[in-house]
Structure 1
C-alpha cells in the first residue's frame, strides 16, 4: 500500500500531529518516523522555518538541523528559536536554553511564551523535561500538552509571517552566520570540538 500523498502544509501538519506525539523526550532512533514523509515535507518547498518544524514533528532531526544552521543569526529569529526547540527535542537542554535566551525578546518567542516571565517559563519547561528524562519524575502527558502549545504557537507565527506557499529559492531565507558560529562550525568540520555544539 502506497503512503498517503500530502500536497499542503496543513494536511501534512495535521497528519503528523495526529499520528505522532508532540516532541518531548529524545527519540531512541536517529531515523525519521517516516522516510516517505521526509520526502513529502521537502517536496512542498516551504519556507525553511515551516519545513524544519515539520521535520521535527517527523523525528527527522538531521534535516531540521540542516535548515536551522542556515538561520542562526539575526534577523532570522524564527530559525534561531526553532534551533533551540530542536535542541530541546534532542535532549541538549543547556544548548536549548541558550538559544531560547538569544530570542527571548523577539516577537516570535513572545507569541509562544508571552508575558514578563516568558523565558523563565520556557526554561522551567525544559528543566521539567530534563527531570522526566533523567529522574523519571513528572507527567509525560502534561509535557506533551505544553510542547503542543509551544509548537502550535510557533507554527502559527511562521504561517502568518511566511505563508505556506512554495518558496522555490530557500536561500532567500538564509542569513550569514555570526563569527562565533563560524568558529564553532570550523572546529566541528575538523573534528576538534565534537558533534552539534551550536
Structure 2
C-alpha cells in the first residue's frame, strides 16, 4: 500500500497511519510554521509516533502558544484536545503515557532507551496499549475533521500558496540536522 500512497498527492496524516513516517515528514516540513497550526500539530503527532517525545511536546506547545496568541485558543489543538491550558495538559499527558508504556515494553538496550522493560507486555499493558491506540486514533480523526472543514476534500494541485517559510533560526537548525549530523534522526 505504501507505493500507492507515496506515488500520489496524499495527506501527511495518511502517511502516518500507513507507518510511512519519512513521507509524512517530507510533507510537514513545508507546513510547520504559523499560521499553519494544523501542519505544526501534524508534526507533533509525527514525532510522538516515531518516539521523539520531547520534540512532540515542543511542537504541541508551539501550537498551543501560537493559537492562544493569534486566535484566542480557538484552533486545531482545541478541536483535538479541548480548550485552554487543560487541553494542552491532556495532550502532554497523553504523550507521557505513550512514552511510559513504550519504555516499559522495550527490552534493555533496544529502541529508544527503555530501561526496565522485558518486551513482554502483560494484561495491564495490553489494556493500556488499546486505550492509547484509541486515543491516538481519536486525535487523528479530530485533526482530519479540522482539516476537512478548513480546506475541504478537493485535490490541491499547487500547494505553494499554502506553504509557510520557517524563521531563519529554524532554517539553520534544519540545515544542521540534515547535513551537520545533529538532531534525533540521522539522514
Which range, TM-score by smaller chain?
0.7 to 0.9
CA contact (8 A) 2:77 2:83 kept: no
1:111 aligned onto 2:71: no
Query: Which of structures 1 and 2 has the larger relative contact order (alpha carbons within 8 angstroms, sep 6+)?
Result: 1
Ranges in structure 1 where 5+ consecutive residues have no aligned partner: 1-33
Q: Please, which of 126, 134, 142 is the counterpart of residue 95 of structure 2?
A: 126
CA–CA distance in 1 between the matches of 2:26 and 2:39? 11
CA–CA distance in 1 between the matches of 2:177 and 2:57? 21
CA contact (8 A) 2:41 2:63 kept: yes
CA–CA distance in 1 between the matches of 2:98 and 2:173? 27
Partner residue in 1 for 2:41:
81
Aligned length: 157
Partner residue in 2 for 1:60:
20
1:170 Cα offset (Å): 1.4
Give a deviation string over 1:65-98, Cα, whole Å, max 9, x none.
Answer: 0111111111111101100000000000000000
Give a deviation string over 1:11-60, Cα, whole Å, max 9, x none.
Answer: xxxxxxxxxxxxxxxxxxxxxxx323324xx52x35xxxx1011111111
Q: Please, which of 159, 175, 179 is the counterpart of residue 190 of structure 1?
A: 179
Give a deviation string over 1:90-131, Cα, whole Å, max 9, x none.
Answer: 000000000000011531111101133011110100000001
Partner residue in 1 for 2:5:
38
- The structure number with the bigger radius of gyration is 2
Partner residue in 2 for 1:172:
161
Ranges in structure 2 where 5+ consecutive residues have no aligned partner: 68-74, 106-123
**TM-score normalized with structure 2 length:** 0.78
CA contact (8 A) 2:44 2:57 kept: yes
CA–CA distance in 1 between the matches of 2:130 and 2:34? 34
1:159 aligned onto 2:148: yes
Partner residue in 2 for 1:69:
29
CA–CA distance in 2 between the matches of 1:103 and 1:122? 11
**TM-score normalized with structure 1 length:** 0.74
- SS of the aligned residue for 2:46 comes to helix
